[in-house]
Each structure stands twice: as structure tokens, then as C-alpha cells.
Structure 1
Amino acid sequence: MVTNSNSNSKIGVLLVGHGSRLPYGKDVISQLAQIYQQQTEYPVEIGFMNMSKPSIPSSINKLAQMGVEKIVVTPVFLAPGVHTTQDIPRILGLNNGDETPEHGHSHSHDHSEEEIHFHGEIIYTDPLGPDPKIADIIKDRVNNAL
């Protein structure tokens, strides 16, 4: 992958997974990141909420060290839930991660959470959702099983 000084080199992508003591989730996210990396000019990293490494802050910091000014964070989850609407935004330091604004950026249940050293823009996307492409995958699985 050749990165040059055009505006695209100032954008990074972070794919976020849940994390697990088992390796399978990390393997899938890693493989998705490799596939996506081949389809884009942006640097692509992965990060996990807990248990798996690298952590979300670690990957944000890695992209920051590459000189990106804007990071698009996409949770590789199917549906919105507590993790995508509260936990991940809180780890990213985004206000919508706090249910109670009077507590500010609460880090009460972070486990030795690293600090994020990135002062650019973080754009946080929705999870994957009911995308027709996912329905195509389901159709393939069903057809292959018959």
C-alpha cells in the first residue's frame, strides 16, 4: 500500500470489535480489515473494547502517529446496543457515550484504559445493520447448507 500526501492520507479507519478470550472474533475482524485495506487508500486498524488486543485507544494512537487528522470508527457489530451506543463512544471520549451528562467523561468501568493521544476529528458510524449485503451472505450460507 502506497500512501502519499494527498488528502486521503489524512484519513484513517478503525474497525472495532467486542473482544473475547477466544481468538475467533479477532481473527474475523483482522481478516475483514485486511480485505478492506486492499479496497481503500486509507490506513486501516482494528481495535477491541476488551480482552483482545489491540485496544481502541492503542489503535487510535497508532493512526495518530501515522499523521491522520480524521479517523472514521466503525463498530463491526450487527445491531445497536449498549456497546455501540455507550461503551465505545465513552472509550472514544465522545459525549454521546455518557447517559448522565453531570458525570462528564466517566471512565468508571474502564479496566486500565489507555489514554487517547489524538486531537483530530473522530467520526463514529452506525453498526452494520440490516444491510442487503448481509442478507446475501445469509442466502449463500443457507444455499450452501442444502
Structure 2
Amino acid sequence: MLSSLSPPTPSLVNRNRCPVNETGRLSLPKSSKLLIGPRRTGYSSSRLRMSTGNGGVGMNPPGGVGEKDGVIIVDHGSRRRESNLMLNEFVNMFRDKTGYPIVEPAHMELAEPSIRDAFGACVRQGAIRVIVSPFFLFPGRHWHQDIPALTAEAAKDHPGVSYIVAAPLGLHELLVDVVNDRIKYCLSHVAGDAEECAVCAGTGKCKLY
């Protein structure tokens, strides 16, 4: 689906800017331009903590995804089947790229699988902690209210399984590359130098008006 995207430029991911310390975590210098975490984005730090209200015992590594973690990538959901299927493709890409063993798609509304469905699927595969990652750009009402409420409701069916609703994509330098790549590819298509990308294929939307 995103095969047209250019790989990240070395300047954004080289070890001088993002060295890995002895624990295996990224050690970001204070001057880093990556806009992550509550301090730079204004996200509430309490929103990013793992919920303890479901009786979770926290047996997974706190700083990374472990084999007993389940990851749910949740988007809004659409009445358009093709849009929903693209989330499945992204989840496959994410699973292949990260190597995480338990990754499930979910739609907040309008389509299945729901957050409840995905939560249950993670638990059936052995997850004792579930990380819900909203496939949204910015922290609007769905991130503040709807997704946490739906996740809390799903967790009631699985006492002892802890969960966290992670931050949305937010402001990140790599998103600049994604947006720029999309713009350049669409202009190449309009100029007759490239086929429609997987996102626009069959829609006829990528044209000058």
C-alpha cells in the first residue's frame, strides 16, 4: 500500500542523533528535533500511563513491546470497504517490520473488527498487556474520550489484562517525508510519469481540476 514511500533519510535516524544505550532504548539528545512525548507535544502524561484499573500485573518490559504484549492499531472506520481493508494491509506491514507477534486491526466505529473484537483476539493469543495505538494524526475527541472508553469496556471481559491507549501520531519529522512523498508521487501521476498509487487506484481522484 505504501510501497511508493521513500525510505527515511539517514539524517533522521542515524546513531549520532538517536544512539542506543546499554538498555537497548533510544537515548535522545536534548537538542533532538523529534517531537515526541508529553513535554514537546502537550499530551497529558497521565493518558500515556498503563491502566492499572483492570488488575494487570505488569509482567512485560515497561520500556518496550514484549512477547506477551498485544498491539491494536485502531482507525476511525469507514463505510467504504476498500478503506477498511487498507488498515489490514498496514497492520501486516507493521507486524512484518517490527516482528511483534500479536498485532490486530480495529475500527473505532462503522466497521468490524471492533476494539472489543481486537482486544479479545490479543488475549486469545496470550497477551497479558494490550497496547492500543490510535492510527490518528492529532489528539481530538476520539483519542481523549471515545477510544479510552471503548478500550475500558473491552477490558472488562478480561480481568487481569492491563492496557494502555498510546499517543496518536502527532508531530514527527518522519511524517514530513510521508506527506512530501505523497505530494510528489501524485504530481508525477498527473504528469503521466507514474501509475496511480495503491491509495488512489481506481478512484480517478488524483487529477488536476
TM-score, normalised via structure 1 length: 0.75
Distance in 2 (alpha carbons) for counterparts of 1:33 and 1:127: 16
Counterpart of 2:83 in structure 1 is: 25
Matches within 5 A, 1:1-12: 8-12=66-70
Matched, 1:129 2:170: yes
1:53 aligns with 2:112: yes
Asked if structure 2 preserves the Cα contact closer than 8 Å seen for 1:17 and 1:75, the reply is: yes
Cα gap change, 1:116/1:27 in structure 2, threshold over 3 Å: closer, same or farther?
farther
Greater fraction helix:
1
1:117, distance to aligned residue in structure 2 (A): 2.1
Q: Is the 8 A contact 2:74 2:132 kept in 1?
A: yes
- Contact 1:47–1:55 (Cα < 8 Å) also in 2: yes
Of 93, 116, 120 in structure 2, the residue corresponding to residue 35 of structure 1 is 93
Q: SS where residue 157 of structure 2 aligns?
A: coil
Structure 2: gaps (5+ residues): 1-59, 189-209
RMSD: 2.1
Contact 2:73 2:106 in 1 (8 A): yes
Aligned equivalent of 2:37: none
TM-score by length of 2: 0.54
Matches within 5 A, 1:57-72: 57-72=116-131
CA deviations on 1:40-61 (whole Å, 9 max, x unpaired) are: 2331001111111001001101
Once the two structures are aligned, what percentage of the paired residues are identical?
A: 28
Contact in 2 for aligned 1:64/1:117 (Cα 8 Å): no
The residue identity in structure 2 corresponding to 1:117 is D
Q: Which of structure 1's runs of 4+ aligned residues deviate more than 6 A?
A: none
Ranges in structure 1 where 5+ consecutive residues have no aligned partner: 1-5, 94-104, 106-113
* Kept in 2: contact 1:13–1:45 (CA 8 A): yes
Please identify the structure whose Cα radius of gyration is greater.
Answer: 2
What's the offset of the Cα at 1:115? 7.4
Q: Give the total of aligned pairs.
A: 122
Q: C-alpha separation between the residues in 1 aligned to 2:171 and 2:85?
A: 23
